[in-house]
Amino acid sequence: DAGITQSPRHKVTETGTPVTLRCHQTENHRYMYWYRQDPGHGLRLIHYSYGVKDTDKGEVSDGYSVSRSKTEDFLLTLESATSSQTSVYFCAISTIRSYEQYFGPGTRLTVT
């Protein structure tokens, strides 16, 4: 198994509060991704990173920001959580040479 952990695994928060999700890898892979999974939509890319301090937006980036100060950590922040951000969030990693992505176990976030 690829060494990817996500924390927390579950979180309940209130509308308007900031939330940060952490993805940690031990594989030293260059690329890291954040997705959200919602019924009827599959997985949708929020943001991705192609190196330390190098990030770019995905298809559903509004309301989210990311940071990558170290190769092993990729943080996803919801500045002011809304109920529409209730979802399961997955982190993934990949190497520069491979299209294959390895996924973490997911974080279930509920915004009340």
Tokens standing for residue 59: 């298809």
Pick one of 13, 61, 102, 110: the residue that binds other proteins (CB under 8 A): 102
Q: Which stretch of DSSP H or E encloses residue 72? A: none
Q: What are phi and psi of 85, to 5 degrees?
A: -95, 5
- Choice from 13, 45, 65, 75 touching other proteins (CB under 8 A): 45
Size of the chain, expressed as the number of residues it contains = 112
- Per-residue binding letters, 71-90, with other proteins (x by CB under 8 A): -------------------x
CA distance 84 to 11: 15
Among 34, 47, 104, 109, binds other proteins (CB under 8 A): 104
H runs (alpha helix) in 52-111: none
User: Which residues lie near other proteins (CB under 8 A)?
Assistant: 4, 31, 35, 40-45, 48, 50, 58, 90, 92, 94, 96, 98-106
